[in-house]
Structure 1
Amino acid sequence: MRTTIKKLRGVFVIIFSFFLIISCEQEFTDLGSGVVSNNRFETNAELVDIVIENSPLSRIQSDNITRELGQYLLGIYNSADYEKLEASIVSQLQVNTLFQVVPDSVRTNPDVIVETTIDTVFIKLPYQVVVENNSGTLDVDLDSIIGDITKPFTLNVYETDTYFNRLNPQDPTKLNEFFSDFNYIKTGTELNAQQDFQFMPNKNDTIVVVKRRTSSGGLYQTDTVSYNIQGVNMVKVPTTIIPLDENKIKQLFLDKIGQSEFSSQDAFNDYFRGIILEATGNEGSLISFNFNNTSTAQQPSIDIFFTNTYLNASDLSPRDTIDRFYTMPLGGIRTNKFVMQDKTYPNNDEIKVQGTAGSEAKITLFDQTKLAELRGRDWLVNDAELTLYINQSADTTNVPFRLYLYKSDGDLTNPSFSQIEDSYTEASFGGIRGQLVRDENGNKEKYVFKLTDYVSELIHGDSNFNATLKLKTFNVTDAPVSEFDTIFNNYSWNPRAVTLFNHSANNGARKATFKISYSTKK
């Protein structure tokens, strides 16, 4: 019986293989990126005319309610070839509701009077850095900055009266959204100690000197504060310090700690709704700050250094001096506000792609006539490659290291976005690619995309939906995390920009090209 089963199984395999071969001769479909070339098939390639147009943006979603962004931009980027960008940060503050300015044991002691004095208070913004080991010496360079770091931009800090609700006020069953063009309500005057603080990155800003003083104004002690890189204790993190008005901060925060305003995080959010770090100007640099650092020392925050002077109630003579510290991380709901300079680009056979709320491009691979024509051909798509060339005469100082493509249904009022198939079906082979390619001289030359599975499905599939492709500056949140992650959410804190040639024949050999390689039966 056992021998008979084995023989029958062998016969079945032979029969199945025979029908499989016949089936492959009668009909074939896409084999991914594999090229079919043998005595039954011949390979060829065709250049397909496409249309690529500018697609300016007015805004993007810039909050962390749906997805934690981590990176937030602050500063100015101004290039004559692109829209000027003024990037500001708006954030709630996190509080320690158990903190006591004066311990209960001292506060309730009738023999002691406590006078609290702020020594210094500032916003701490640690830079992202690159650490290099040069012959045993650890060198630190600032990272994630574009623009002119030799010129400052103007920064002012405000309290906002805008309430940050995680739920949509019009429909509480949905999460709220804040977009990059949202206007936040300011309350009062600037919180920074010096109006129009001149912000200029400096990698040597690694220490803060805090002079501790008693309530009488006498110098008690001097502290040197620095922030070390996590895991590299010998290296100090360059950090921008924005001094705040000590009297305003004492009234807003220290005097309220222990009262109802600090009884819970929700109570505090209702009392103090957030701060605005507003950048303005026509020159300077644009900095990306990491708000997701696991090291407390490297998290953006408001840091308050203060001193409690204990006096004897009987004669007000000094009894003791205690130095204290309180920190309020910029946490909770955070957003970026982008002020983009309105700019109309001339119709000169160029495409502008600029991150944040700048500009994307709209690409039409096939019109319906061309698609119907391709569907009438018996093609096995082996490869589909889109190449976009950089105009090297434009500003290429801060071009993106990668561009990205996604699908749009074209709805102008409520568009739906999705991932291109290759981004997840070919993820282990680089997805749709789109990385910057340099020429043999090191010049920034082009971007190349692979769209094989998408084009094959479009030609051989049953759907008549021919999506518009959108081209954008790549953001780390763009790529799908799995094959089921097919919805595309358009976030962008990558401010880089590039000028590309479009499809016009006027661009000669550097016009945008779309090449389909295919196989057909002989």
Structure 2
Amino acid sequence: MNYKTVRSFFLFISITAFFASCDKEYNDIGTDVIGEDHFLVDKYTGASVVAFDKSTGAVQSNNLPVNPLGIYDNPTFGVTKAGFVTQAEIDISNLNNAIGNNPLVDSVYISIPYFSSRTAITSGVSTYELDSIYGSGKMKLKIYENGYYLNDLDPATGFEDAQRFFNDDPNIESYKRGAAGDGTSIPNGKQLNDLLVSEGNPTDFADDHFTFSNKEIITKTKNDNNEDVISRSAPAMRMKLNKDFFQKKILDAPAAKLANNASFRDYFRGLYFKMEDDDSGDGTTMAMMDFSKGTINIAYKEDKIIRNKANTADSLTRPAKKYVINLKGNTISLQQHNETADYNAALSTTNTTVGDEKLYLKGGQGSIAVIDLFGPGELEALRDKKWLVNEANLTFYIDRASMKSEEGSGVAKPIEPERLYLYDLTNKRPLYDYATDGTTYSTKPKFAKVIHDGIIQREEVKGRGVKYRIRITNYMRNLLKHNIADPSKDSTNVRIGLAVTESINIISNARLKNPTTLPLPFTNTSTTFDRLPAASVMHPLGTVLWGSAPTVADDKRLKLEIYYTEETNSN
């Protein structure tokens, strides 16, 4: 069979793989198709691979598109407690309508929609399934006024650079404010949330227990004829807030403070969502949330003077009005981590010479894996062979015992990350295979780029994870060709990073609070580790993978697999 025939065959396989990859179960692509002796294709697994894990320390966590909220207890990694702080701004419709005379608050509630999808409608009632909720149980959630101003620009650089905030920022807690007995804003005052709104009916929230509910929101209002009007909306966090506080802070505010959002953000510095340890023993829960879609809704009445038709007398009415504040502006994801002894021990005993036996990957202030390919002289020797690379993979097997997911372990099974992200750690950017994969998934955008992969492969639907595989075919082709004439096709052997990801579509980076240097096992140079994929900062989960150490069983050890054909002349 000549090279053209082989190439045509692999084009067919690639097209087939694309459509197979769009299956909702994300099956292994081509596992039993490409082998050592099929169609003159050989497999090479002799390249040196060194992989070890590395702790991130505190990470930049401001202005993330999605943020965790809650407490999640992972038996492998420990407890992650995630709070949140956000600025707020006046809704544009309010800026053009000043608050009138003698305003009086009727009620205040906050609403932040969850990620959800409607699964059914029965007799007008919708059923929803929540997305990105980890664990179950009650939480202690307290909402305070944020008293610390979140700068756009960094004063330390003469206001020339964007301000960075980190997950362990102590200022938010130190400057938090709440309500006095009469609603006045005071340092360390009472929390602002005191009633939970669920399905239109207030429920006692005095014990601070809160759960993420998949119930649709039912709202009852009155029309001009004093008739009930029922509206329904998707599940959301809805809590009543202290109306005396918002009476004094907003409706009674000096007009200049509400004239524009620049003045308003300095006057009312936003909200602080604080998570506290829950002693109810009812489990732990964490949700991924888009707070930018949240609103504070103030219902109030004000005086309105109406002249009669003859213009001889005035009458006073009290129309109902609404003042909306959007949860927009600068934000910080506040994440605290209490690691297990095993996790701490693993991060303190990394082997940068032959690699670690186990690779611990965790989001937030967590850890990544650092991967180096090819020992001294190996890459040059492979380039001399002039192989035609058909496919190249890195396959990471899950250490299920360390994940405490084996049956009979006596420990609750942790929730596993759905996807890993492999990237160019040296240059802080995606690999070439990411850029060349145009596949999409309309109903689940997080599962785009399915050819590049990195999606968990399970033993059955929603079963325990077995492995993750990531294709680096184009990267390896360029590396072996070493095409220095085309800078868009980087042919440099770079250090590779592996991290958990909340979304494969987000490739921006976040800074580390304390950068470090990483020694290379095959050279005398080192790499600066000062950034982390931002989508990893958002993600609260982790996994344990088998690494590259010689002590790992051969069928589980991390290897680089290169499927190739010898370059021949076609006839």
State the TM-score, normalized to the length of structure 2. Answer: 0.67
User: Given that residues 107 and 243 in structure 2 are in contact (C-alpha distance below 8 angstroms), is that contact kept between their aligned partners in structure 1?
Assistant: yes
Q: Distance in 2 between matches of 1:440 and 1:340?
A: 32
Aligned to 1:322: 319
Aligned to 1:449: 470
Q: Distance in 1 between matches of 2:494 and 2:229?
A: 59
Aligned to 2:540: 495
Q: Distance in 2 between matches of 1:514 and 1:249?
A: 60
- Name the SS for the 1:203 alignment partner: coil
Shift of 1:399: 1.5
Selected match of 1:404 from 400, 406, 421: 421
- Name the SS for the 1:252 alignment partner: helix
Output one character per residue of 1:207-237: Cα deviation in whole Å (capped at 9) or x when no partner.
35689xxxxxxxxx897775x4xxxxxxx32
Matched residue type, 2:192: N
Aligned to 1:45: 43
Output one character per residue of 1:47-94: Cα deviation in whole Å (capped at 9) or x when no partner.
134222222222333333xxxx43222111111112321111211111
User: Given that residues 145 and 285 in structure 1 are in contact (C-alpha distance below 8 angstroms), is that contact kept between their aligned partners in structure 2?
Assistant: no
Question: Size of the alignment, in residue pairs?
Answer: 437
- Name the SS for the 1:133 alignment partner: strand
Alignment of 1:79-98 (within 5 A): 79-95=74-90, 96-98=94-96
CA change 1:139–1:341 in 2 (3 A) is: same
The answer to whether structure 1 residue 308 and structure 2 residue 302 are counterparts is yes
Aligned to 1:515: 561
- Name the SS for the 2:382 alignment partner: helix
CA change 1:479–1:321 in 2 (3 A) is: closer
User: Given that residues 398 and 544 in structure 2 are in contact (C-alpha distance below 8 angstroms), is that contact kept between their aligned partners in structure 1?
Assistant: yes
Shift of 1:434: 1.1
CA change 1:260–1:368 in 2 (3 A) is: farther
User: Given that residues 112 and 237 in structure 2 are in contact (C-alpha distance below 8 angstroms), is that contact kept between their aligned partners in structure 1?
Assistant: yes
User: Given that residues 405 and 420 in structure 1 are in contact (C-alpha distance below 8 angstroms), is that contact kept between their aligned partners in structure 2?
Assistant: yes
Aligned to 2:435: 424
Selected match of 1:148 from 130, 135, 156: 135
Q: Distance in 1 between matches of 2:218 and 2:121?
A: 23
User: Given that residues 119 and 129 in structure 2 are in contact (C-alpha distance below 8 angstroms), is that contact kept between their aligned partners in structure 1?
Assistant: no
CA change 1:58–1:516 in 2 (3 A) is: same
Q: Distance in 2 between matches of 1:133 and 1:268?
A: 42
User: Given that residues 146 and 398 in structure 1 are in contact (C-alpha distance below 8 angstroms), is that contact kept between their aligned partners in structure 2?
Assistant: no
User: Given that residues 200 and 284 in structure 1 are in contact (C-alpha distance below 8 angstroms), is that contact kept between their aligned partners in structure 2?
Assistant: no
CA change 1:237–1:92 in 2 (3 A) is: same
CA change 1:225–1:369 in 2 (3 A) is: farther
Selected match of 2:240 from 240, 243, 252: 243
Q: Distance in 2 between matches of 1:331 and 1:99?
A: 20
Q: Distance in 1 between matches of 2:460 and 2:138?
A: 37
Q: Distance in 2 between matches of 1:173 and 1:191?
A: 36
Selected match of 1:186 from 158, 167, 176: 176
Aligned to 2:388: 380
Gaps of 5+ in 2: 4-9, 15-32, 178-186, 195-205, 307-314, 347-355, 406-412, 440-448, 485-489, 509-530
The answer to whether structure 1 residue 74 and structure 2 residue 34 are counterparts is no
Q: Distance in 2 between matches of 1:225 and 1:36?
A: 59
User: Given that residues 296 and 324 in structure 2 are in contact (C-alpha distance below 8 angstroms), is that contact kept between their aligned partners in structure 1?
Assistant: yes
Shift of 1:408: 1.2
Q: Distance in 2 between matches of 1:36 and 1:190?
A: 64
- Name the SS for the 1:302 alignment partner: strand
- Name the SS for the 1:449 alignment partner: strand
Aligned to 2:309: none
CA change 1:352–1:268 in 2 (3 A) is: same
Matched residue type, 1:445: V
Aligned to 1:333: 330
Aligned to 2:53: 54
- Name the SS for the 2:246 alignment partner: helix
Shift of 1:337: 1.6
- Name the SS for the 1:510 alignment partner: coil
CA change 1:124–1:176 in 2 (3 A) is: same
CA change 1:204–1:61 in 2 (3 A) is: same
Shift of 1:431: 4.9
Moved more, 461-470 or 281-290: 461-470
- Name the SS for the 1:84 alignment partner: strand
The answer to whether structure 1 residue 117 and structure 2 residue 104 are counterparts is yes
Matched residue type, 2:425: S
CA change 1:284–1:342 in 2 (3 A) is: closer
Matched residue type, 1:450: R
Aligned to 1:392: 400
User: Given that residues 155 and 196 in structure 1 are in contact (C-alpha distance below 8 angstroms), is that contact kept between their aligned partners in structure 2?
Assistant: no
Shift of 1:420: 0.7
Output one character per residue of 1:358-396: Cα deviation in whole Å (capped at 9) or x when no partner.
222112222344334434444332221111112233246
CA change 1:53–1:271 in 2 (3 A) is: same
Percent of matched pairs sharing the same residue: 23
- Name the SS for the 1:60 alignment partner: coil
Shift of 1:193: 4.4
Matched residue type, 1:245: N
Aligned to 1:413: none
In angstroms, what is the RMSD of aligned CA positions? 3.8
Shift of 1:495: 2.5
Aligned to 2:497: 470
User: Given that residues 501 and 535 in structure 2 are in contact (C-alpha distance below 8 angstroms), is that contact kept between their aligned partners in structure 1?
Assistant: no
User: Given that residues 128 and 216 in structure 2 are in contact (C-alpha distance below 8 angstroms), is that contact kept between their aligned partners in structure 1?
Assistant: no
Q: Distance in 1 between matches of 2:244 and 2:227?
A: 21
Name the larger-Rg structure: 1
Q: Distance in 2 between matches of 1:224 and 1:63?
A: 40
Matched residue type, 1:496: L
User: Given that residues 181 and 339 in structure 1 are in contact (C-alpha distance below 8 angstroms), is that contact kept between their aligned partners in structure 2?
Assistant: yes
User: Given that residues 75 and 88 in structure 1 are in contact (C-alpha distance below 8 angstroms), is that contact kept between their aligned partners in structure 2?
Assistant: yes
Moved more, 377-386 or 190-199: 190-199
Aligned to 1:174: 161
User: Given that residues 121 and 127 in structure 2 are in contact (C-alpha distance below 8 angstroms), is that contact kept between their aligned partners in structure 1?
Assistant: no
CA change 1:502–1:256 in 2 (3 A) is: same
Moved more, 357-366 or 88-97: 357-366
Moved more, 268-277 or 498-507: 498-507
Aligned to 1:371: 379
User: Given that residues 120 and 127 in structure 2 are in contact (C-alpha distance below 8 angstroms), is that contact kept between their aligned partners in structure 1?
Assistant: no
Q: Distance in 2 between matches of 1:361 and 1:53?
A: 5
User: Given that residues 63 and 179 in structure 1 are in contact (C-alpha distance below 8 angstroms), is that contact kept between their aligned partners in structure 2?
Assistant: yes
Shift of 1:143: 1.6
Alignment of 1:256-271 (within 5 A): 256=253, 259-271=255-267
The answer to whether structure 1 residue 437 and structure 2 residue 454 are counterparts is no
